[in-house]
Structure 1
Amino acid sequence: MLVLFKEISNRIKPKLGSPCIDNWVFKLHYRATTVIFFVATILVTSREYIGEHIKCVSDSVNNKEFHKVIESFCFFSTTFTVIRDEFNFGFGDPPHPGVFPYGLLSKPPIRKHLYYQWVPFVLFGQGVMFMLTHFLWKSWEMGRVRKLVSGLTYSSLAFLENSVMVDGKSIPSKKEKEITIRRIKDSFFENVKINRAWAPQLILCEILNFANVGLQAYITNKFLGGHFYTLGIKIFTQGHSILDDVFPKVTKCTFHKYGPSGTVQLHDALCIMALNIINEKIYIFLWFWFIFLLVLSGLVLVWRFASILLYSKSPVFGRIIFGFGAKKLSFWKLKTVTRKFTYADWLFLKYLSKNLDGLVFRELFGRIYEQLDDGAVFIGKEESGNKND
């Protein structure tokens, strides 16, 4: 099992030096949440720590082969508990909740437990679904940021006339840095119309992330028979006893067998559901995790729409968002660039700032301002609005 954990961590962990094309809440969806679901899948399929997933006691204990048949039947079919509030055992509460005498003519309603054999498949499928938005975003983004910032990783150290190698890292020369910055600036202006689809696509993926959390909570609630939505609340109000209803540790199972003359024989089995010890802890954690993720994803959307309103109205806001690279930029430069750009252009610039050293981004921003100030042909907000008129 440890080998599987290592394999998952190798595939999911972030790669050093890779460009940032999303935010940390986005990463919580496709990295942290996916890892949680995959680890949970491994736990519920492993017998290393919990042993057999189901062990049954029946009247066929002397016949080991027949006992194995009953045990297999109870695992792949359904076990059940009896819904009965009152029953006189003669010594107080029943030893196992939901385990009462139940025969062919018994009338009390029963609760069938169908989910446990499907838990690993559902958990794995949900983990994959949390990765789909990331794959969609990568297919739309098409490595645009990587192509622009490649070669500028150590450009803030470019003080020499020739490029040098230090500890296996290539530090470009001043001329190479200037050429690369000019290339980014030219590419930005040449592809400004193409890059404008970048922001709506990112926002759509953030909306899909928010919707996906709600969808997964709905799927989990349906899967657990409608108990998931209130699981955490009931634990706080009713204690851990509620878990015996949702994840019973001891259940009943009935196996029907034909006798020598064709008479149906009923074999009653008492089953220990060791797997539910793991299941209950997984789903309690998921209840809190979904709430945490839903709140953060909602705050991201609030922040996104607030930034749409503020990006061109406040140079101070631009300085905060662009970070270190914008601290020494004049308010006039920030105001000029942000007012001539649409929100899509501004957001693309923001992600360039996240992937460039602050000094390099400041120089790039200055080049963009100079080209705008020189009357560059650029279809910004005002020009596109006039064109539509």
Structure 2
Amino acid sequence: MSLSSLGKIKVKIDVKPVVENIVFRLHYRYTYFAFMTATLLSSLYGIVGSGSFGDVVNSYCFIMGTFTVDRLHGLQTGRQVPHPGVGPAEAGDSVTYHAYYQWVPFILFVQGVMFYVPHWLWKRWEGGLFKQIIQDLSVTKYLGSDLKNYFNRKQMIDTLVKYITRTMNGHRMWAYRFFFCELLNLLVVVATLFFTDWFLGGEFLTYGANVFAVASLDPEDRTDPMTYVFPRMAKCTFRSFGASGTIQVRDVMCLIATNIINEKIYLFLWVWLVLLTALTALWMLYRLLTILLPPLRHHILKIRASPSVRREVELIMHRASLSDWFILVNLSRNMEQSVFSEFLRAFVAEESHTSSTSPTSDYDYEKASLKS
């Protein structure tokens, strides 16, 4: 066998044989990382802002909560009000209380964990089955520094063919559990959107759109949605003892330094979650179509295989169930195309041999039993 044949193999970029697709990985890998990073950043309020944040008033207001006057948000900053929403409240004015920022790190952490749960659940159910099925025929193992996988591929392909032949229609729960985890990803991202909207007082679903809508306007003439949802300066009712020992009630301004970071974090999360929801919904539509339409499954497998084995694909799909197709598609994603085509040829040959040698009558069955 000539080593020159190695030059005909196209290298695919992959890390390890996995069943999870790119949309699935966006959830448990990148979104999980984004939320964990946001958790860390949102807890850095102690080193953001001026040193006055450590004063008693600011610390008290942070713990007890703050409020802004809704009527004062549309006024011009620096002329009519010192800061958006900050000023004396009049009788009948509605105010918005802000205490959520104390819980932001905890909420972000829990939401990040929720994005990891479907992957964790799938790994528990899957138990490394696919890695055992594909053996060392995955791209990284097969095209690694150790060439013995290349020269021993015939033996590994034969083992794979025998396993797939004997377990046809036997992986239904394996496939259905993965489909459930994909659906769980969609439920998690949608639930995250609506829970965050509730957590921020009904402002999150339109938060990013409102920010981008005013981004090009003059800062002097606009009401920044970020300062409305995440006020950097707010009011607080501070009570203390006066010189004569009587209780003094002061309406003070306080700096919420953590909101300087929170407003950017949630703007990024809004963009990310909206895009992720759209991608996940489209993927679930694709998954639903593959479940309901066998011709579509046939077409997808034909695209992934080499044109030289289209006949083999036709023969396989005549009897392949949804779970069989799902295993074959994942094998094609994780194997080099020439190796996958070689496997399909061997698989069809094994199927033909099994069909031709299987007994067709009671007499044939007894005769086959005596020979064995």
TM-score by length of 2: 0.80
Instruction: Name the amino acid aligned to 2:112.
Output: G
Deviations 1:151-181, CA, capped at 9 Å, x for gaps: 2347867xxxxxxxx85x252374x322211
Q: Quick one: which of 333, 336, 346 aligns to 1:354?
A: 333
Q: Quick one: which of 235, 257, 260 aligns to 2:240?
A: 257
1:72 is displaced (CA, Å) by: 2.1
Q: Quick one: which of 318, 321, 333 aligns to 1:342?
A: 321
Q: Percent identity?
A: 34
The residue number in structure 1 matching 2:272 is 289
Count of residues in Structure 1 that have an aligned counterpart in Structure 2: 335
Structure 2 unpaired stretches of 5+? 1-12, 216-222, 357-372
Question: After superposition, where does 1:183-262 map in structure 2 within 5 Å?
Answer: 183-238=159-214, 241-259=224-242
Deviations 1:107-137, CA, capped at 9 Å, x for gaps: 5332110111111111111111100011111
Determine if the alignment matches structure 1 residue 115 to structure 2 residue 91. Answer: no
In the alignment, is the contact (CA less than 8 A) between 2:66 and 2:98 conserved in 1? yes
Instruction: Name the amino acid aligned to 1:214.
Output: V
SS of aligned partner of 2:318: helix
SS of aligned partner of 2:309: coil
Q: Quick one: which of 60, 70, 95 aligns to 2:82?
A: 95
Normalized per residue, the structure richer in helix is: 2
TM-score by length of 1: 0.77
SS of aligned partner of 1:340: coil
* CA 1:29–1:274: 2 relative to 1, 3 Å: same
Deviations 1:280-339, CA, capped at 9 Å, x for gaps: 11111211211111111111112112223444467544221xx2x4331033x2111011
SS of aligned partner of 1:39: helix
The residue number in structure 2 matching 1:29 is 27
In the alignment, is the contact (CA less than 8 A) between 1:221 and 1:229 conserved in 2? yes
Q: CA RMSD in A?
A: 3.0
Determine if the alignment matches structure 1 residue 268 to structure 2 residue 244. Answer: no
Instruction: Name the amino acid aligned to 1:96.
Output: H
SS of aligned partner of 1:81: strand
Instruction: Name the amino acid aligned to 1:140.
Output: W
Whole-Å separation in 2 of the counterparts to 1:249 and 1:25: 36
Determine if the alignment matches structure 1 residue 303 to structure 2 residue 258. Answer: no
SS of aligned partner of 2:236: strand
Whole-Å separation in 2 of the counterparts to 1:262 and 1:376: 99
In the alignment, is the contact (CA less than 8 A) between 2:297 and 2:325 conserved in 1? no
In the alignment, is the contact (CA less than 8 A) between 1:83 and 1:109 conserved in 2? yes
1:214 is displaced (CA, Å) by: 0.7
Structure 1 unpaired stretches of 5+? 1-14, 57-66, 158-165, 378-389
Instruction: Name the amino acid aligned to 1:97.
Output: P
Q: Quick one: which of 342, 345, 350 aligns to 1:371?
A: 350
Whole-Å separation in 1 of the counterparts to 2:75 and 2:163: 81
